[in-house]
Amino acid sequence: MSDENNSREMEQDRVDHVIHEINKKEKKLYAKSSDLKESVVELRKNFWEDVTVNLDEPDDVIETQASLKQQAELLSERERFHGKVGEELKILKRLKDSPYFGRIDFLEDSENQEDQIYIGISSLMDSDDEDFLIYDWRAPISGLYYDHSPGEAAFETIEGTIAGEITLKRQFIIRQGMIKGMFDTGVTIGDSLLQQALGNNASTTMKSIVATIQQEQNKIIRNEKSDLLIVQGVAGSGKTSAALQRIAYLMYRYREELNADNVVLFSPNPLFSSYISNVLPELGEANVRQTTFLDYLVDGIGNKFTIESPFEQMEYVLAETNQKDYSIRMKSMDFKSSLAFKSIIEEFVSYLKAHDIQFKNISFRNQVLISKEQIYDYFYSLDDEIAIPNKMELVSKWLLKELQYHQRQEKDKDWVMEQVELLDKESYLKAYYESQAGDEDEEGNAAMEEEILRRAVVKKVFSKMKRLIKLYEFVHVSATYKKLFTEWEPGNSPEHWRDICQLTALDLSRKSLTWEDAAPYLYFKGKLLGDNTDRSVRHLFIDEAQDYSAFQFALIKSLFPYTRMTLLGDINQAIYTNTTKENPLIPKNQPWEHERITLTKSYRSTKQITEFTRSFAPGHEEIEAFERNGSKPKLKGMKNQEGLEEALINEVESLKDTGYQTIALICKTLEESEEIFNLLMNKLNLKQVNEETYSFEKGILVLPVYLAKGIEFDAVILPDASKYTVESDRTLFYTACTRAMHELIMVSADETCMFIAEAPLETYAID
């Protein structure tokens, strides 16, 4: 038997041994889980029997509350422990299928014997809990596997640096407990393993990349020092995957102080959120708080406005060029995305310290209790040196006192007794017992009972007004913001300022906020009422960060002032208008201290697709192709639109016959995607993806390019490449083409797309 076969047999024996140990641990955990479940069921069943309930005396009430709390805490603890056991069982199940993916033999300096370190998605101890059978990929020693070739190496621990020599690095592909592939390598991840991982069909969810993490990705994952980490990664470089592994690593590294609620991820759209939702659970971690920046803004602004989404703004830019205000709107987008507009808002807020903040009447039953003029006068009577949000707090306290007076005045009015008559039996009973507590005679008790009921009604009615006052609803934020565009002139007016103001004021009158106004409005609201900073957020991750404007990023910095941030993006894919100026991914315009990591190698697409797309990539970043070969991108020319339907059907059927499971017809706009869907819906089993699509499914998908961001498909068809006609379409076209893993087909009904013409003829095939 050759050394290779002998080695493989020994490794399979070890896999069998590890699975045997997993089975033993599973058996113990199942027994423990069963006992815990019975215990929880028993506790729930006998909850009230085990609680001493006595409400006769104050001391008895306190004792009852303590008994309830103790019993509830016991039940909660058992349920948590049962859930923890369930999570451990899930991890063991995953380990049983593929216990580990890597091995390094490490000889520590001053030691005589090598340590054999096997690395997997989670740690596993032997049955005596003495030795590690598997090391978690996030453990300090596992960094050797990702960062070093055989030879001298070192890793950091709490105690200091451990130095030594890697004498062997081995990689495995294990499925259902059987070794399917085994490679000894001198680099981080051998091409053989990557070829197998990347050559498969696209999945409906992003997969964990722990087995194929590259050295440059590992720098992102294990970075613990940077308050602001900027990752510029070309399409398909694994930046999003690395970010999710980074979250898992940080939650492992700081597990005593960091949990899923302390981490927030801004993703580009709900479809993408669904696409990445499986990665952290696959690694045994809970999903962190995921939202889109749009949803975050909507929550902060409230329901008083209809807020345009970035996708609606994109559709306007691409499809509404004939609108009469189009050029002014484009200038407005440009200006309101800049830090110059932020300065104008701050200048306006400074002006508001002396006058012009708008307030609302506080009314009750069609009667003004406290007028907006009274509130205005009180606000501006306060010391000018007090910050506006602090003055608002003082006004709120004053208003609550004033309301207390009006509440007492209202108590004796006729409408209150009408409401008393509508109260339920329990309210009457409670009032009766309270009235009996005094030394009054029967008539006095009846009067007291009515008094108690009147107070209860008025308190309930006024409590809603008090709650709104605590939320500063007495401030007319939108009317004040509108004054910025109607009655105030900045010290240095930008070009077309009057036209921009007129357009904005019209939108505000319609209770509508454009996407370029949403972030500025929330920023302005924070300056008036105080920012609702979430201090519980320790880490913020922003994917597709190149699509954020300078103003939006400045808002984020103000809302999360003490939060560490990781920004991920690709300047080549900055598809939204006015996002490349002062962009956070461009260090020279970045005013905050940061560390920048660049990923230049594309793993998603075949070498042929990558070499084609980098010919017209918008930026100047280096793009390296991974050595995975496939067909050249194909350009299919059409003399007219009549043959489009037949051509698209033929291409889709051919791709299906090849075995591809996710085929995307990526269109420039939503309007075009609807046209293509209607054209083919009776001939093919299509799924249309729009802004409301929340889950990614296999099949033939029709979608606009901006909803394909961050997602990959087996094959991509561009139904009409000739629609990309101007320089500003370059990022859109590049983004659409780089979604393809294995096949890229471009149909062109008119003259050849200007970007395809930039690619050397040898990089694509013409049909």
164 is in an annotated binding site: no
SS (H, E, C) 661-712: CEEEEEECCHHHHHHHHHHHCCCCCEEECCCCCCCCCCEEEEEEHHHCCCCC
237 is in an annotated binding site: yes
**What are the distances in angstroms from CA 3 to CA 8, 16, 666, 685?**
8, 20, 51, 52
* Rounded Cα gap, residues 326 and 546, in angstroms: 24
The DSSP line for 191-233 is HHHHHHHHSSPP-SSPPP-GGG--HHHHHHHT--S-SEEEEEE
186 is in an annotated binding site: no
* Rounded Cα gap, residues 612 and 723, in angstroms: 19
C-alpha 111 chain-centroid distance: 46
* Rounded Cα gap, residues 611 and 627, in angstroms: 11
Computed on alpha carbons and rounded to an integer, the radius of gyration of the chain in Å comes to: 32
Dihedral angle, C-alpha 429, 430, 436, 442, nearest 10 °:
-40
511 is in an annotated binding site: no
* Rounded Cα gap, residues 628 and 766, in angstroms: 22
Q: How many helices (H) and strands (E) does the chain have?
A: 25, 26
Nearest to 600 by CA among 626, 633, 632: 626
Q: What is the enclosing helix (H) or strand (E) of 289?
A: strand 289-292
Residue linked to tokens 């991509």? 716
Q: Are 270 and 292 in contact (CB under 8 A)?
A: yes
Q: Is the dihedral of CA 381, 383, 388, 389 positive or negative?
A: negative
* Rounded Cα gap, residues 548 and 565, in angstroms: 14
Q: Are 43 and 75 in contact (CB under 8 A)?
A: yes
Both structure tokens of 315: 């559709």
* Rounded Cα gap, residues 17 and 420, in angstroms: 75
Q: Which of 733-737's residues contact partners 24+ apart within 8 Å by CB, and which partners?
A: 733/616, 734/235, 734/572, 734/573, 734/613, 734/616, 734/617, 734/618, 735/235, 735/572, 735/573, 735/575, 735/705, 735/708, 735/709, 736/666, 736/668, 736/705, 736/708, 737/609, 737/612, 737/613, 737/633
438 is in an annotated binding site: no
240 is in an annotated binding site: yes
634 is in an annotated binding site: no
Sheet holding 595-599, edge to edge: 289-292, 263-267, 539-542, 564-569, 228-233, 595-599
486 is in an annotated binding site: no
* 499 burial via Cβ count (<10 Å: 0-12, 13-18, 19+): middle
Q: Residues marked as binding for ATP?
A: 233-240
**Which residues contribute to the annotated binding site?**
233-240
